[in-house]
Structure 1
């Protein structure tokens, strides 16, 4: 099915903190560059059950150096505005609107300050409507999946002017009766095509939302297969066979975030791309 509209959520109105629910999440994954260096960044804030979890992580290539920081704070010690997008914790700041966002964060070794511009890129509404069943409850999820990004990354006192793209994923959960266990992929496969892939069964069966450059959505089945710790993703409706390699950007008990490189074929054409994965609960 294709569905550019209708949706069940208001993306602009959904940016601030929600008033009800078990989880409220603002997730950013960026691939940035400075000359020959590539920087993969994760900045994530999540409020759940009266606590706010913050994560800032950095992976540098080609040397593979990593730096990350992770903390949990009571909601009384952070800012989570319900009136406008304003999230501030001891590690990070997220502010702005649907067209431009300012995000920053720090680890012990690095500081990150980025400006993200939408540039009329369409919103990716997961499932086409932006709401779908989620472990006995439901979730709202949408993405600004191709934000033009500029800013600075300072590592050990050396500041790099960077540019590239950021995937911003906004999600909230209500009514869940089971602990989430899933593998999620957000993939940029070129020509304005982006894939949000959910594997919640744990057996490799998945479904995805494809966003096209004109804003059209395709929702269809996929199959994720393990290949010596890396993955193959097949999507019959897209005539797609993708090989996905990933390197750890951040990991903690029950949480893994990877930086992904993508090669393969899509609609009969060879493609290269990149993206991110979150593996939760395993």
Structure 2
């Protein structure tokens, strides 16, 4: 860890002060000392030169995970892409969630042309007999979906009512382990998560009958643990690929009783980590959009302020503000975005993605 203003993961007291139970869970799991936590093999770090033992491993953990006993489990993998096609800036989301306890495994897909504002989404559930995710490797099969490969290279083929995609994602650089170890507390439950934040993306996308060659970048995220999408909880998630090569993942989790944990994991280009508190996004959220379908209310502008890292970023949804995926009458915002501001005191700008799960309460 490089900076006195950052957070050293070896310092349990400091992390606990920052993230509450998030920190203690991550450190206990990293050292295999928490008897209440699910047993996991501690591996060497999956991030070059970080010096932090990880409890996740992209080489094996892209396979389906085994649920804890008596837990309502969610096993999730998704990627967000920004690709170019004939001069158009297109945002893509492909997200599948395995729910061993039911009520059916999920597929969420969206495509957004930020140049024209065109947007379509698709969401469905698969019965267990129609969906499979290997426990040995990344091999997912469902009607219209095939997702295979490993942490270095994977292919995704998908057909939905309004189009299709056939993409190859190739990792560039190391994985990002959330919290440095890949384990943290989310709504009082231990979750595991890592990202492959820079994946070169090539292939074809067909939208409304037009097949187009695309090239760009994807951020892949892998998460599993107890299902935390319960009524009253809401969260925001954002990713940032910085011009200097750093990758930043931000969580803003607000429980039903109003307790907020907002924090960022920074993976430096040299493989070192920093974990820092972020000012709650609600303090500077604005330009709200209310869905005419679900009635849910979402911000379309945020300020991500990380004082310890001399960082203040304005994040705005680009193109169509109504980038909502709806399943079973409930919506979630999955939106292409842009950011600009200061990072480590330097001026930056770039493209990113913003997720909002749950209704944003009116103030």
TM class, shorter-length = over 0.9
Q: Which has the higher helix share?
A: 2
What does the per-residue CA deviation read over 1:138-169, in whole Å, with 9 as the maximum and x for residues that have no partner? 11000001101111011222221111100100
What does the per-residue CA deviation read over 1:87-138, in whole Å, with 9 as the maximum and x for residues that have no partner? 122242211001001012232222111101113x110000110001122321
CA distance in 2, matches of 1:227, 1:69: 27
Task: Report the alpha carbon displacement of residue 196 of structure 1 after superposing the two structures with TM.
Answer: 0.8
Matches within 5 A, 1:104-143: 104-119=157-172, 121-143=173-195
CA distance in 2, matches of 1:60, 1:12: 33
Alignment partner, residue 209 of structure 2: 157
Where do 5+ consecutive residues of structure 2 fail to align? Answer: 1-6, 10-49, 288-298
Distance 1:15 1:153, change over 3 A: same
CA distance in 2, matches of 1:171, 1:205: 18
User: Which has the higher Rg, Structure 1 or Structure 2?
Assistant: 2
Question: Once superposed, which parts of structure 1, at least 4 consecutive aligned residues long, lie more than 4 Å away?
Answer: 175-180, 202-205
Alignment partner, residue 37 of structure 2: none
SS in structure 1 of the partner of residue 179 of structure 2:
coil
CA contact (8 A) 2:90 2:115 kept: no
So what's the TM-score if we normalise by structure 2? 0.73
CA contact (8 A) 1:127 1:209 kept: yes
CA distance in 2, matches of 1:176, 1:203: 14
Distance 1:214 1:76, change over 3 A: same
Alignment partner, residue 81 of structure 2: 30
Matches within 5 A, 1:208-227: 208-223=264-279, 224=281, 225-227=284-286
SS in structure 2 of the partner of residue 237 of structure 1:
helix
SS in structure 2 of the partner of residue 127 of structure 1:
helix
CA contact (8 A) 1:55 1:91 kept: no
Alignment partner, residue 172 of structure 1: 224
CA contact (8 A) 2:203 2:214 kept: yes
What does the per-residue CA deviation read over 1:50-70, in whole Å, with 9 as the maximum and x for residues that have no partner? 321001210013111112211
SS in structure 1 of the partner of residue 308 of structure 2:
helix
Where do 5+ consecutive residues of structure 1 fail to align? Answer: none
CA contact (8 A) 1:248 1:259 kept: no
CA contact (8 A) 2:114 2:336 kept: no
Alignment partner, residue 294 of structure 2: none
CA distance in 2, matches of 1:204, 1:275: 23
Alignment partner, residue 271 of structure 1: 348
What does the per-residue CA deviation read over 1:18-62, in whole Å, with 9 as the maximum and x for residues that have no partner? 121500001110000023111100001001223210012100131
RMSD, matched Cα: 1.9
Distance 1:269 1:67, change over 3 A: same
CA distance in 2, matches of 1:243, 1:264: 6
Q: Which has the higher strand share?
A: 1
